[in-house]
Amino acid sequence: MHRFIASTRVVTSFGYFLTIPLLGSIALQAGAMTPAEVGLLIAVHTLCRRTFAVPVGLLCDRWAPERVLVAGLLLEAAGYLVLTSSMSFPLWLVALTVDGIGGLAYNAGSKVVLADAATASAFAGFYVATNVGAFLGPLVAAGLSAAGAPRAVFAISAVLYVASAVAAVVRFRRVRRPSTKVTSLWRQALAPLADRGFAGYCLLTVPLWFGMSLLVAALPLEAASRGLGYLEVGLINALNALAVVLLGKRVGRRTDGHTLPQRAGTLACSALLMAVGCALCIGSAYWSLYTAMVLLTGGELALFAAAEVIAVQLAPAGSTGVYLGYMTTAWAIGGAAAGLFAGASLDGSAAGRLGFWLTASIVLCADAAGYVLLRRRIAPRQLVA
């Protein structure tokens, strides 16, 4: 089961990173849309992939995660087929809405299936597979664009998602039924908020995902202020993906068997690494920026080794999906905050740079301290993965 999830994840992430990062450039260069329309498309797609995480998690718990996974892949395949059919704003808005909801369902279903193992290595394998696609997709897309065929990426992505959807339908013809029956949908949906340990964990996850999002949200703006070009930004992101591919599974295996307090300590280290990385960005030397990106990558690896396993271990039987849904929502808040704060602060001024990186470092240091306190709160709930 886990191998199937990982293999389809390589294919689907390759299709995703082959297409989504290029959407705006292709539409603008073709003269088919305005910058405002492109911005709206990306915003809608991002919101759809995150906003409905809790109800989709409930659906996984009540309908079976395998069915949600298959439905998600079918929706994504449909979205890419619509993208391929014609380049117009209304059609692409429909396509990205469908694709975003499908991506959320596919990710949620996959993670609930992986939750059966409740091991860091299982989730790390998911992110390793994701980063294989993140590394290869942009390279292939750049080659096709340079060859004068940028829209070919849509057709390739559509084929990849159709193939993955067919494979999932075949693989999950028979699915397990949820073993735990609940009488109240609202009680199940609101129960995680009454779990103080989990609610505190979700709050602490927001700044942690803020740090995780800096490579996407802040690096391009910081690079521009330093006079760096696309090549440097692309190289840093490619090396980040390569590091996750090479080290992610190993880090996951090393943390298998950790208790909940130990995993909280791992996330404290993750926040601290990112905090030091942000502090280094205050300096103007090139070595400080590259060292900071290495530290952010280290924090990302630590996050992948513990974040979702904690949510799985805190969740009672039959509620894994909704617990992961709340955690995904917390991630969305952190990612959105990173984008908004970076856009408002990294305006090229020295004061803006100092304010952004200093604030980010302080927030992440406070987050690390929060995880130390969380270790004490969840110590009575120790469970070995």
pLDDT greater than 80 at residue 215: yes
Asked if residues 313 and 385 have their Cβ atoms less than 8 Å apart, the reply is yes
% of the chain surpassing 90 pLDDT: 40
pLDDT greater than 60 at residue 183: no
% of the chain surpassing 70 pLDDT: 94
CA 181 to chain centre: 30
Q: At what angle do helices 53-63 and 89-114 cross, to 10 degrees?
A: 50
pLDDT of residue 124: 82
- Kindly state the average pLDDT of the residues 139-159: 84
pLDDT greater than 50 at residue 232: yes
Select the highest-mean-pLDDT range: 3-12, 19-28, 187-196, 355-364: 355-364
Q: Is 353 exposed, middle or buried (0-12, 13-18, 19+ CB in 10 A)?
A: buried
Asked if residues 282 and 335 have their Cβ atoms less than 8 Å apart, the reply is no
Asked if residues 151 and 33 have their Cβ atoms less than 8 Å apart, the reply is no
- Kindly state the average pLDDT of the residues 110-136: 84
pLDDT of residue 35: 75
pLDDT of residue 385: 41
343-354 pLDDT, tens digit per residue, is 889 888 899 999
Closest CA to 256 of 148, 90, 384: 384
pLDDT band at 230, cuts 50/70/90? low
Return d(Cα 298, Cα 271) in angstroms, integer. 10
5-42 pLDDT, tens digit per residue, is 988 999 999 999 888 877 777 787 778 788 778 878 88
Return d(Cα 167, Cα 70) in angstroms, integer. 9
Return d(Cα 182, Cα 320) in angstroms, integer. 13
pLDDT greater than 60 at residue 383: no
Return d(Cα 370, Cα 175) in angstroms, integer. 40
Closest CA to 319 of 195, 208, 196, 197: 195
Q: How many CB atoms lie within 10 A of CB 263?
A: 25
- Kindly state the average pLDDT of the residues 57-72: 91
Residue 150 identity (one-letter amino acid):
P
Asked if residues 252 and 120 have their Cβ atoms less than 8 Å apart, the reply is yes
Closest CA to 105 of 69, 52, 155, 141: 69
pLDDT greater than 50 at residue 274: yes
- Kindly state the average pLDDT of the residues 178-195: 75
Structure tokens at 164: 């993955």
Asked if residues 384 and 120 have their Cβ atoms less than 8 Å apart, the reply is no
Q: % helix / strand / coil in the chain, to the nearest 5?
A: 85, 0, 15
pLDDT greater than 60 at residue 75: yes
- Kindly state the average pLDDT of the residues 123-143: 85
pLDDT of residue 384: 41
pTM summary value = 0.82
pLDDT greater than 80 at residue 89: yes
